[in-house]
Amino acid sequence: MSAAGHGLQRPLAIVGVGLAALVSLAVGLPVIALVGLAGPGGSATASPADAAALDAWMADQVPGSPLVGLGPVFVAEGERNGIDPRALVAIAMHESVLGTAGSGAGIHNAFGWGPAIPFASWIDNIATVARGLRQGYLARGRDTLTEIQPVWAPVGAANDPTGLNTAWTGAVGRYYKDLGGDPSGSIAYTPALAGEVDLCPVGPWGGTRRPVEALARLAGLPVTSVKRGRQTTASGGTSDHWTGCAQCYAIDLGATPPAGDGPASRIASAIAGPGHADWGSTGGVLNVERCGIRYQLLWRTNVGGNHWDHIHIGARLVGYAP
């Protein structure tokens, strides 16, 4: 963290550079050569959600790592927060050699989060960091390693007098690439392809809740509102958020342009098709009927209220009048 600080929880003891990276800088060798990233073909897995492959990669690199076996946790928290699980593993590898080096090894802190915040378990640590990346980085438009580094490991920080933070992007990127990720691309993670989202009604609130939650997960943004007691919208209509609307459901996701444009476009594509892949850049009001449900997406509009600081996803059974 820089001397001025940035208001976000973040790394630790060795100032954003893991032990392997420190050694490599000292002797002038690539980090990869020191920790044995020579997996078959150099890419352990092409699927972000392959928990077994994540475990296999970690076991190959650091056989005694306490994170081996937690591949399903990396995947679950990545899916929950819209973060590529491979990026989480890559950061943990760089910051603490997968929980085996630095001060974090004794406090269940594989990411240098805090700095040096103790956690009750590695599971709690992974969950906190995934959530922190979503809320403090991706929701603010920082979704690539290059964009994350200036906040996560700022060059010139008061606690980095020798400039080790300059190695952060390259080192994490090499691990991420070895895991099958694109080190120059976004680490945002969409757990299902748009066409795989089940938009048909099932479950509570007339079957509208689960589809809306599935759409929200595509965005990987923090939820700011769900069901509530206020009945009318700013435009005078009955809100899908209203608890009295028994066959309706809605979720608001915190975002501002342009950071929210991509997530809004993913949701629009899921409910209206690939022709809406750039919908978020202009936004507006999108109403689509699917499987007997009217889906509504509001973004970059004042219809129904100010939708410049959040994305609204609403659903209501067609023909239902609360």
Mean pLDDT confidence for 92-97: 95
Of the candidates 311, 78, 313, 322, the residue with the CA atom closest to the CA atom of residue 209: 313
pLDDT band at 2 (very low <50, low <70, confident <90, very high): very low
Are 36 and 59 in contact, with CB atoms under 8 Å apart? no
144: β partners: 186
Mean pLDDT is highest, among 42-46, 97-101, 153-157, for: 97-101
At 96 the pLDDT is 94
Are 314 and 228 in contact, with CB atoms under 8 Å apart? no
Mean pLDDT confidence for 61-73: 95
SS3 193: coil
Average pLDDT, the chain: 82
Mean pLDDT confidence for 56-81: 91
Domain limits, CATH 1.10.530, in the chain? 19-178
At 47 the pLDDT is 59
Are 135 and 222 in contact, with CB atoms under 8 Å apart? yes
To the nearest 10 degrees (0 to 180), the angle between helices 85-96 and 122-136 is: 110
User: Tokens 């915190």 — which residue?
Assistant: 254
pLDDT, one tens digit per residue, over 277-307 is 889 999 999 999 888 899 999 999 999 999 9
Q: From CA 177, how far away is CA 184, in angstroms rounded?
A: 9
207: β partners: none
Of 94-98, 191-195, 267-271, give the lowest mean pLDDT range: 191-195
Of the candidates 251, 234, 255, the residue with the CA atom closest to the CA atom of residue 306: 234
CATH class of 19-178: mainly alpha
